[in-house]
Amino acid sequence: MKRTAIAYWLIPAEPARTFLEKVIGGLARRYNAPIFEPHTTIHVGSDRADAEEVIAKALCCCGPIEVKVLDVCHTGEFTKTLFAQLALNKQLQRLNSIIRGAAQNSSSYQLDPHMSLLYKKMSIVSRQELARSIKLLFSEITFDSIKAVCCASPTRNRADVEAWRVVAAKSLSE
């Protein structure tokens, strides 16, 4: 049975944002998959938290965050079909800790920073070929805003993705 959760996302700054929107949109059209906003998930927790308040607490301690891009990878997991793996750094760990504390929940979410590029059930051979074909134009991504998104947990299909809705958003430079 699915439950509703709040996912806290970091949103990339320009020019990475527009580039990733084009990659995600192009892959979605090519593979008949859902289109979604470029993001990396920092925490997923209870939908009972006041998302505006959680984000406000995160902003007190955080500015724009730079994260190194490691590689394009793939898995059989729907929400990690094809993704850019990101390096875990102290800023991401700190933000995860602040949000987890502010949301006052003990969810089992484990921070694994990545930027999904495609959500689609595919064969391993197709995923491998696709991962090898993707070339990212940057070695680091700067994230300059944060959003709280109400979502089904776990997200398992296109309908779940298309039902996502933003419930709070702020710039990290405010």
Categorize the per-residue pLDDT at 11 as very low, low, confident or very high, splitting at 50, 70 and 90: very high
Q: What is the pLDDT of residues 78-109, one digit of tens each?
A: 999 999 999 999 999 999 998 988 887 667 78
pLDDT of residue 12: 97
pLDDT of residue 2: 67
Q: What percent of the chain has pLDDT over 70?
A: 97
Task: Give the CA-trace dihedral at 63, 97, 165, 163, to 10 degrees.
Answer: 140
Categorize the per-residue pLDDT at 163 as very low, low, confident or very high, splitting at 50, 70 and 90: very high
- Tokens (6 digits) for 103: 């949301």
Between CA 69 and CA 38 the distance in angstroms is: 14
pLDDT of residue 106: 61
The DSSP secondary-structure symbol of 49 reads S
Q: Are the C-beta atoms of 147 and 168 separated by less than 8 Å?
A: yes
Q: What percent of the chain has pLDDT over 90?
A: 71
Q: What is the pLDDT of residues 51-71, one digit of tens each?
A: 888 898 888 777 899 999 999
